[in-house]
Amino acid sequence: MRFHSLLPLGLLLSSFGSCRPGAGQPETTGIDSTNTDVVHSKYLESHGYSILKNRDGIYWIFSESYVGVGAAVKISIDTEHKSVTILENNLDQGIVDVEKLKLPQIFRGLCIAKNLPCNEMTSIAMDIDEWFTHGSVKKHRQDNSLADQDFDIAPNQLGWEIFSKTSFYNDATKMFPGFEAEMITIKQQKRASPTPSPRGFKLRKVAIA
């Protein structure tokens, strides 16, 4: 499974390996201890969330407790190419409800509500905009004379402990429980919009034996 991103810093997990038995069914375990009821199509609705799919096929997730303008989360799911893109994640920027759902819960709730084959996905792109991680990327590039080149980090390499402990990595892996990462790739990216997207954070994943 692959997680790649499109904003200032993004996260990509790829090469997930084969799915476990029952992968075609909604997966509800391993997401979060508060997520045991993600087993019915009204899960998001029962927590104050609503779903709108626009003409581009992007799912806008609205929340009653989100104080910002627009959607709390925007997710694109391409079943043909088996890819997921988290286009916007404002859960930490405007939600005032202490019982708010986390991204993995919202993702699984969306999959079940819309009967999407999310366990068949092979890649996921997640936007990341966080100064500490940007600083870590900059330092790693400087220390290794990489300039703006893409680079990979394996679990046994320097830098893995830094990038694998980010909240973005944690959210991504919880969206697909039962997998672990085998590679992180940092890459320069730009989105087709007026706002440039200078960095990407890519993770390659394999199934846990």
Alpha-helical (H) ranges within the chain are 43-46, 91-94, 103-113, 131-143, 160-163, 167-175
Rounded to the nearest 5°, which phi and psi values hold at 150? -70, 150
The confidence band for 58, taking pLDDT boundaries of 50, 70 and 90, is very high
pLDDT level of residue 161 (50, 70, 90 thresholds) = confident
CB 124 within 8 A of CB 103: no
Residue of 68 and 191 predicted with greater confidence: 68
Cβ–Cβ < 8 Å for 7, 191 = yes
What pLDDT does 98 receive?
56
Mean of the pLDDT values across residues 59-63? 94
**pLDDT tens column, 17-33:** 433 333 344 443 333 43
113: pLDDT strictly greater than 90: yes
pLDDT computed for residue 88 by the predictor: 87
Higher pLDDT, 132 or 23: 132
Measured distance CA(61)–CA(44) in Å, rounded: 9
Q: What pLDDT does residue 60 have?
A: 96
pLDDT the model gives residue 21: 32
pLDDT at 44: 93
- The answer to whether the pTM exceeds 0.95 is no
Q: CB neighbours of 8 closer than 8 A, spacing ≥ 6?
A: 127, 128, 129, 134, 197, 198, 199
CA distance 194 to 132: 24
User: In the predicted model, is pLDDT for residue 102 greater than 50?
Assistant: yes
Domain residue spans of the chain: 1-16+122-209, 22-120
CA 151 to chain centre: 20
SS3 24: coil
Mean pLDDT (the chain, rounded): 72
pLDDT, tens digit (0-9, with 9 covering 90-100), for 164-190: 888 777 887 788 777 666 777 776 665
User: Residue 10 above 70 pLDDT?
Assistant: no
CA 15-17-18 angle, 5° bins? 145
The pLDDT confidence band at residue 15, using thresholds 50, 70 and 90, is: very low
